[in-house]
Amino acid sequence: MTFEPSATQEQIDARQQAFDNPPDPTTLVSREEIRAALLDRHTAATQDKLDAAHVAICGLGGLGSTIAVALTRIGVGHLHLIDFDRVDMTNLNRQQYFLKDLGQYKTEALRSNLRQINPFTEITIDTVKVTDENVPTLFKNEDIICEAFDVPENKTMLVNAVLENLPDKKLVSASGMA
C-alpha cells in the first residue's frame, strides 16, 4: 500500500507559510467567540469568576507549564508566570514547549504559546528566582498562588514565605513532572 498525501502542494506550501509567519491570534477569533465557547462548558457565574481570577504560577516546568495551559483553556482571566530558567532540549518530553522555544526564557516562551490558545488572557511574566524577599511584592495582586517547583527547599521557602507574609492568599502546592 502506498501512502498518498491528502494535501496538495499548494496546501502544504500555505501551511508552511503559516508556520513560518504565524498570524496574530487576535485576528483569528474574537474575545466574544472564546467566551461563548467557554459558556458552553460553564455557567455565566462560573465563567465570570474565572475571568476575574488572578493566578500566579511559580515554576514553569512539567507541572507549572501544564497548569498554565489548563488554566488558559478554562478561561482564567489573569495569569502571572514566574520562572528564571530557559527552555532546553531535555524539557521537551514533558513540558509545554516546542523546538521553536529552545533557548528562550520559559516565561516568554510559555506566554507566547498560551496566546495561541487564548490571546485574550492577560499574562504577566517575571523572569526571576522566587526568594523570601520578593514574595510579598511578586504576589501582592494575586488571588491564588500555584507552587510548582521541583526543588523541595524552594517549595518549603515559598510556602513559608506566603504563610508568613500573605496569609490571606490561597496557596496550591503540588509535586509533579519536574
Cβ neighbourhood burial of 169 (10 Å; 0-12, 13-18, 19+)? middle
* This prediction's pTM: 0.86
Cell of 102: 529552545
pLDDT the model gives residue 108: 97
Structural domains in the chain plus CATH codes = 28-173 (3.40.50.720)
42 to 31, 56, 122: CA distances (angstroms)? 16, 22, 20
pLDDT > 80? residue 3: no
How many percent of the chain have pLDDT more than 70?
Answer: 93
CB 56, CB 82: distance < 8 Å: yes
User: 75 in the Ramachandran plot: left (φ > 0), alpha (ψ -120 to 50) or beta?
Assistant: left
Closest CA to 69 of 61, 37, 86: 61
Mean pLDDT of the chain: 91
Tell me the per-residue pLDDT of 44-62, one tens digit each, with 9 for 90 and over.
Answer: 999 999 999 999 999 999 9
